[in-house]
Amino acid sequence: MTHKIAPSLLSADFGNLQAAIEMVNQSEADWLHLDIMDGVFVPNISFGFPVLKYVKEISTKPLDVHLMITDPIKFIKEIKEIGAYMMNVHYETCVHLHRTVEQIKENGMKAGVTLNPHTPVSLLEDIVSDVDMVLIMSVNPGFGGQKFIEHSIEKVKKLKELINSKNAKALIEVDGGINLTTGKQIVEAGADVLVAGNSVFKAENPAQMIHQLKHLD
């Protein structure tokens, strides 16, 4: 399977958001990645539901919504109402992870679980067969433009082994410090989806960068 590209809107120019979304629409990107931050679980605040609704009106790509917030289960209905394709919640914020995953699916969305850099993939042993995707953070969440954590490559390999051992179908997504070099390493390790922020939106030709990330061979 050819890997997917999900440009991260957090790195776009918010003074010209419509143009950024339309660029993604016309590109080879597969999804649009949206980071929701609450200033509690991560030391930053991004954007809320009014912006998400605006994005949905313009975007023609499936929305991959990543909630870096405490108690994400409270907002499942709101995420559904803005038309999300994938709802990603952090392992570290869900006391009742299985219940959260089930409710996401009951609301018609794909369910993703995210792991911070310090969280081992072994903790997903009892849930990996129930989720549609696992997102590996290859930087500490909260800010764009951070340096890629090299250990993430081994982490992806371990996750792939776990998924295969359970005959699970979960995709592997990686977010943080993704560029042409790290992207190739991560895909070779077993990743299915690359989230790219600064490498796309700070590029001289963002659509061309998406093309290059899509065709890493």
* Rounded Cα distance, 101 and 76, in Å: 10
Which residue blocks in 45-139 are alpha helix, DSSP H?
Answer: 49-58, 76-81, 97-106
* Rounded Cα distance, 13 and 55, in Å: 13
Catalytic residue (one of 35, 38, 64, 132): 35
Buried b (16+ CB within 10 A) or exposed e, 131-159: bbbbbbbbbebbebebebbeebbebbbeb
Q: Is residue 175 annotated as a catalytic residue, yes or no?
A: yes
* Rounded Cα distance, 34 and 88, in Å: 10
* Rounded Cα distance, 190 and 171, in Å: 9
For 20, the token pair is: 């950024």
Catalytic residue (one of 30, 38, 132, 175): 175
Residues belonging to the active site: 35, 175
